A = this chain, B = another copy of it.
Amino acid sequence: MKKNKKFYRDNLKELKPYDPHEVPYKIKLNANENPYGLPEEIIEEILSEAKNLKYFRYPSANSVKLSEIVSSFCGLNRDNIVIGNGSDELIDYLIKAFSEKGRRIITTAPSFAMYKIYSIISGSNFAQIPLNQSNFSLNEDKVLEEAKKEDSSIIFIAYPNAPTGNYFAEDKIIKIIEESGCLVVVDEAYYEFGKKTFVPFISRYDNLVIIRTFSKAYSIASLRVGYLLSNPEIINEIRKVKSPFNVNTFSQLVAQVVFENKEILKDSIKKIIEEREKLTNRINEIPPFKAHPSRTNFVLVEVGSKENSDLVYNNLLEQGILVQTASDPIFSTSRYFLRITVGNEEENDILVKGLEIVSKNRSLK
């Protein structure tokens, strides 16, 4: 069969289907999951409540109970929240509601990959403003210059940034919110590991959106739950493009139980932060690697050249350790990175030993 049909879209040519990493591996440090999982008693409570769900009915369209619990905890209400299938779906909704073919979406380089993918799918133009080379700080003036183009509509800012792991200065982001004329989306996917937030600014600005996820600290990546906070006018536009029954009943239930019991997560978050600091220090003792400071549950490891990056990635995978490539040619064509999730103690030990083995490889420069 040949693509001689008029219905194919030229602008999808640069996209590839997601690679589901069906390679064999023993240790998974590529997706920033919380390795400690949920306590068994919570899972038992959930599965006991799950006996009574009406599986044959459509879900609560606006995830009503979950929306109430989460928004009220944030000092907001049901008119300020949309629940989605992870942050991914919420990014898609934002782009559907506020961009289209001919508009422009802006983020930093590097940044979270899904902003670009959903932008391309929507037909939007996509611009990335490189971070400062020395310290990964935000070039707010260049972002504003781009934002002031007539077709610019949305600015995505990951806070802390992925994959660099650092917070941008709050006053720079405020300046962008105040002066850009665009919708500014602050992506707080890793909020629970660093605790800085723009939520208090929602009532002050009519162009600010916050997104967060249950996939990282909350350790239910399997169930695809994220939430979006903003003012009621923005929320109304997002609900127009929201699939009526987007979040399934079981995920609504689990997210609700976990959120209501969020003190159970404190220990694992504390352990991840301690492990992150230990891991950063240990990696920095292994030449030629440089682990950058992180406020998330992953560490950005600078590995030198493109050849080094391929060699380290593949050599770790041969040892059964799956990590994530994280270089961005728009940020730099001479600096290469891997993004490595902070695992549990045992996983981090194996990773460090793995990096030590790679470090001795003669081809590494």
Contacts and interface: CB of A to CB of B under 8 A. Distances in A.
A15 B89 CA distance: 19
A74 interface: no
A191 B5 CA distance: 28
A101 B95 CA distance: 14
Interface in A217-246: 219-224, 231-233, 236-237, 239-246
Interface in A222-272: 222-224, 231-233, 236-237, 239-251, 254
Contacts of A330: none
Interface stretch (A46-54, A136-144, A300-308, A310-318): A46-54
Nearest to A11: B100
A3 B98 contact: no
A22 B222 CA distance: 29
A90 to B, nearest CB: 11
A7 B215 contact: no
Contacts of A62: 20
Given A20-B61, A51-B43, A245 B220 contact: no
Nearest to A219: B56
A97 B56 contact: no
Contact of A47 (B5, B12, B47, B102): B47
A17 B236 contact: yes
A61 B221 CA distance: 12
A231 B1 contact: yes
Interface string A5-22: 111110110011110101
A64 B18 CA distance: 14
Interface stretch (A28-36, A165-173, A347-355, A356-364): A28-36
Contacts of A34: 56
Contacts of A37: 54-56
B51 A47 contact: yes
Interface string A108-125: 000000000000011100
The count of identical subunits is: 2
A206 interface: yes
A319 interface: no
A222 B57 CA distance: 5
B1 A57 contact: no
Q: Contact residue range for chain A? A: 35 or more
A60 interface: yes
A138 to B, nearest CB: 20
A181 interface: yes
A88 interface: yes
A97 B221 contact: no
A284 B207 CA distance: 54
Contacts of A241: 12, 15, 121
A55 B231 contact: no
A154 interface: yes
A96 interface: yes
Given A33-B57, A47-B47, A248 B246 contact: no
Contact of A89 (B2, B44, B243): B243
Given A43-B51, A47-B51, 10 more contacts: A5-B207, A7-B154, A7-B207, A9-B97, A31-B57, A55-B254, A59-B221, A85-B246, A222-B249, A248-B248
9 contacts: A3-B233, A5-B206, A6-B182, A20-B244, A31-B57, A55-B219, A88-B245, A100-B101, A221-B245
